[in-house]
A and B are shown apart, each in its own frame.
Chain A
């Protein structure tokens, strides 16, 4: 019984291993979960799930599997079993309401309409899932004809008296794609560190000297090493104002983490897109600007270039001369970013907007093309990927 479940977990994208499956069997054999399904659920969870971001996924698969809903995972994500819907609806419809529905073209038709409506809604919400209720969509409210009747938003109502533990899905909020605090950003940025011991061995390595001397039985054995320093240099360009106001906090965190993490960090601000000049102080950005060309001349090409911005604007602001919302730019932004990318081949764009929304904004697509696909969401996972691209 556990083996098909194990494969369901793996199909569902969990990295459960054979070792863990065997552990679970061993635990069952020693009678740890003899008493109840709940105990088995707790046991399976502690043995098979090793990351709190996966708890929610585990709960869903567990729920689906042990309720006998034999869905493939795709179905699990998209479909609502029709009979289940129907049962639900019939349960909560009163006689009058049912008559009303008849008048509207019959129950079947209503269900079809509802299903269509649901499918549509699933399409727009990222990923979608069968637990519409908990996701907060209210399909029947949207339908409008049947305000009370088919309240399928509360999927728990079928068994509200005994909502199964795994149906509660307490862990919904924890997913590894959410933004986290500075510490996590620092840890992610730390991967970019490249300590190099370069040059002549001119420092006394005390530990190694003591170690070697002691192992030598007391005869001094001097050891020297070259000086060690972080060789990574970063040029950070931050979008500020306008649509970026929603993302101030995450950008602050990113900025402060980067500041403390890199010794060679230069930062500049821009608004919406890169043009012929950038600035370092937002209060004096009209008067104290740094020409972009000066930047490319001053900082050598071993700097790594990181843009932070939502890339959400009118496409004209990128593609046309004079497209900037703030001033008349002689050359389109696209040319400026190409110049920068030519000087700094190691470059990424971090976007605080969720990745699922990128496709809806033409300018994001444009920027992605300009960046040759090196755009990453400003989340820990995205940052990790971006750092990999920078190395």
Chain B
């Protein structure tokens, strides 16, 4: 199964440990749980895995109101009620009112699919527990039609979490786990390179330096992450900012141009401006 190994793609840099975690999950057909700072590419991972292995992707985005049942199927009782008033014939077959969820769709896929369960921690605390059986055995029972639905091919399940709620132990035991740590400067250079291959080297270096400097500012409520960096570089390119503008004699007192793309919190912007102001006063140029 050598060609079935995930090694990252042209547009996604996967570190060695992430590759191992994904391959373990693919080989053993267990779900993989991905955690990490927002903006480090958790959701992107599933998309890239599907792409690089050439599998169809089913995305199930979780909201606070999502129930586990909705991923399996829903019984459209209202639709049936309406049809019964209109005297339609199909009202007699309950199967006409069973609406398939994402998990069911993934189970029916012709090819082994990738199923993304995005931000599982958004849902109710009991949500993961309700999916234990389904993820373990890859089958579930439709009570209305008394049919057992089992997966044709066990999907590769990628689950992401932002740590808003703790996940139950029983659920965790069934998964592989990977924490995407924030990339260091060398990995980050590779990531940017993949997204902006024509970017000039000096601009990249300056941009990364400025970026890590902003990240190092103490007391920021939300540190800028990879996706913010990529947006920022996109802006820099669009505005055609020269690398010199990012550099300055006294680098600590420079506000990077277009820094609104990096700091997304009003208080952070204030804090940052104040720091730079203070710094300028103490180190007049």
Contact = CB atoms under 8 A, between A and B. Distances in A.
A356 B270 CA distance: 34
B221 A17 contact: no
Given A19-B174, A50-B173, A214-B81, A170 B181 contact: yes
A38 B221 CA distance: 35
B181 A27 contact: no
Contacts of A170: 181
A185 B202 CA distance: 43
A45 B219 CA distance: 31
B273 interface: no
Nearest to A31: B27
B230 interface: no
A184 interface: yes
**Among the interface residues B20, B32, B78, B84, which one has the most CB atoms of the partner chain A within 10 A?**
B20
A42 interface: yes
B141 interface: no
Interface in B27-52: 27-28, 30, 32-33, 35
B176 interface: yes
Interface in B1-48: 16-17, 20-21, 23-25, 27-28, 30, 32-33, 35
B161 to A, nearest CB: 10
Measured as residues with beta carbon below 8 angstroms from the partner, the interface class of chain A is: 35 or more
A228 B90 CA distance: 38
Given A43-B20, A47-B24, A214-B81, A15 B179 contact: no
A39 B21 CA distance: 10
Nearest to B79: A214
**Size band of the interface chain B makes with A:** 20 to 34
A313 interface: no
A45 B164 contact: no
Interface string A42-86: 110111011110010000000000000000000000000000000
Interface string A1-38: 00000000000000101011001001100101100001
Contact of A32 (B27, B177, B221): B27
Contact of A187 (B16, B165, B174): B165
A211 B74 CA distance: 12
Nearest to A218: B84
B237 interface: no
B142 interface: no
A213 B179 contact: no
A171 interface: yes
B210 interface: no
B169 interface: yes
A106 interface: no
A215 interface: yes
B123 to A, nearest CB: 12
A218 B85 contact: yes
B154 interface: no
Contact of B77 (A17, A27, A171, A211): A211
A23 B31 CA distance: 12
Interface in A228-280: 249
A110 interface: no
B77 A42 contact: no
Nearest to B184: A170
Given A23-B30, A30-B27, A213 B17 contact: no
Given A26-B28, A46-B176, 18 more contacts: A17-B173, A20-B173, A23-B28, A30-B28, A32-B24, A32-B27, A33-B20, A42-B21, A46-B24, A46-B32, A46-B178, A50-B172, A50-B173, A50-B175, A51-B177, A52-B179, A187-B165, A214-B81
Interface of B: 16-17, 20-21, 23-25, 27-28, 30, 32-33, 35, 77-78, 80-81, 84-85, 163-165, 169, 172-179, 181, 219, 221
- Ordered nearest first, which 9 A-B pairs have the shortest CB separation? A214-B77, A42-B20, A46-B21, A50-B172, A52-B179, A218-B84, A42-B17, A214-B81, A46-B176
